[in-house]
A and B are shown apart, each in its own frame.
Chain A
Amino acid sequence: MRLTYLVPLALFVVIGIGLAIGLTLNPREIPSALIGKPVPEFSLPPVQGRDHGLSTADLKTGQPSVVNVFASWCVPCRVEHPLIMALKRDNLAPIHGLNYKDDPADVVKWLNQLGDPFTRTGADRNGRVGIDWGVYGVPETFVVDGNGQIVCKHVGPLMQHDLDTKIRPLLQDLAAGRASKVKC
């Protein structure tokens, strides 16, 4: 048999493998444009009944932090909430809330009912700060280093697996000041 007869088969295999890889990718996960960049300039008032709002300076304290974008109307936020509480108990880094396009009364009820894991909670009523952060689906979770650089972004509700393989190791690496091998 002549070797040229194998060319279509080889092409088929190459294209097939390429398409198979494509099928495993998640189109919902858009690579963030902000990874490795400083957090945007912003300043948000606290949500009703809380004392600490959130601004750029709060993320440049020399200590790494976690910023969780959430809303009381967001069902997946409710799903991930127990894990955020667990992360809070680990005491690895302060967790700040960015309350995205929420009703002031609803968010207070939500936090009082489910528990408040946040050190600071900024109220982004019209969603403009969210857009500056490149938020396109709530919940989103950002890991920020002590200099205010965004190190990692997770879109969608955090699962136990994400905490164990991404967020916790990354925070431990940041706290120890070593380069992290965690892929975000």
Chain B
Amino acid sequence: MLFLFVALPAAAQHLEDRLADPAQEARARELSRELRCLVCQNQSIEDSNAPLARDLRHIVRERVVAGDSDKAVLDYLVQRYGEWVLLKPRFNARTLLLWLGPALLLILGGGIVFMLYRRQARAQGTPPAALNVDEQRRLDALLRDDEAGK
């Protein structure tokens, strides 16, 4: 009985116009997952229930059936809505910083850590200066007191 109230993690299945060929259908779904729904912006058109998303899924299926390559299908929508419809931005001059940014930050951070580490290691590698006569005498006295205190 309790199970009736458990929300099942239902995979979004839009049955409106499934393609007869399973391979084509799989490709259409794969492509739909890469395209942004322009109404509910952080969902893919595969996940969205918006009417526009449904229309766009329909177009994706049409293009797949027409024999377009994956890139041609995506280009079709990029022409109309801009690169923004792609959930995964393409690698080009404008997105260079976006794609390489994390690696650059990692190199930068790693460099800083490495330098700090080296500086510390060098500091530790130098032996402390020897005690002068006064210091030695004080140390001896302290140690003696310590012994006596026990």
Q: Name A's B-contacting residues (CB within 8 A).
A: 27-28, 30-34, 101, 126-128, 131-134, 136-137
With both beta carbons as reference points, the residue of chain A lying nearest to B78 in the complex is identified as A33
Convert B45-77 into 0s and 1s, putting 1 for each residue whose CB lies closer than 8 angstroms to a CB of A. 000000110011001000000000000000000
With both beta carbons as reference points, the residue of chain A lying nearest to B83 in the complex is identified as A33
Given A131-B52, A133-B80, 15 other A-B residues pairs in contact with their CB atoms under 8 A: A31-B82, A33-B79, A33-B80, A33-B81, A33-B83, A34-B80, A126-B55, A127-B52, A132-B80, A134-B81, A134-B82, A136-B38, A136-B39, A136-B52, A136-B81
Q: Is the CB of A30 within 8 A of B38?
A: yes
Asked if A131 meets B59 with Cβ closer than 8 Å, knowing A101-B51, A136-B39, the reply is yes
- Which of B41, B80, B83 has the most A CB atoms < 10 Å from its CB? B80
Q: Is the CB of A131 within 8 A of B56?
A: yes
Asked if A134 meets B80 with Cβ closer than 8 Å, knowing A101-B51, A127-B55, the reply is yes
- Cα distance, A27 to B52, chains bound together (Å): 18
Q: List 22 A-B contacts (CB under 8 A).
A: A27-B41, A30-B38, A30-B82, A30-B84, A31-B84, A33-B78, A33-B80, A33-B81, A33-B82, A33-B83, A34-B80, A101-B51, A126-B55, A127-B55, A128-B55, A131-B52, A131-B55, A132-B80, A134-B80, A134-B81, A136-B52, A137-B39
- Cα distance, A133 to B79, chains bound together (Å): 10
With both beta carbons as reference points, the residue of chain B lying nearest to A37 in the complex is identified as B79
Convert B89-102 into 0s and 1s, putting 1 for each residue whose CB lies closer than 8 angstroms to a CB of A. 00000000000000
Q: Is the CB of B82 within 8 A of A32?
A: yes
With both beta carbons as reference points, the residue of chain B lying nearest to A133 in the complex is identified as B80
What's the nearest-Cβ distance from chain B to residue A67, in Å? Answer: 15
With both beta carbons as reference points, the residue of chain B lying nearest to A35 in the complex is identified as B82
What's the nearest-Cβ distance from chain A to residue B106, in Å? Answer: 17
- Cα distance, A53 to B47, chains bound together (Å): 35
What's the nearest-Cβ distance from chain B to residue A153, in Å? Answer: 11
- Cα distance, A127 to B57, chains bound together (Å): 13
- Cα distance, A137 to B84, chains bound together (Å): 15
Instruction: Find chain B residues with CB under 8 A from A134 CB.
Output: 80-82
- Cα distance, A137 to B53, chains bound together (Å): 12
- Cα distance, A120 to B59, chains bound together (Å): 27
- Cα distance, A81 to B82, chains bound together (Å): 28
Instruction: Find chain B residues with CB under 8 A from A131 CB.
Output: 52, 55-56, 59, 80
What's the nearest-Cβ distance from chain A to residue B117, in Å? Answer: 17
What's the nearest-Cβ distance from chain A to residue B7, in Å? Answer: 29
With both beta carbons as reference points, the residue of chain A lying nearest to B52 in the complex is identified as A136
What's the nearest-Cβ distance from chain B to residue A149, in Å? Answer: 15
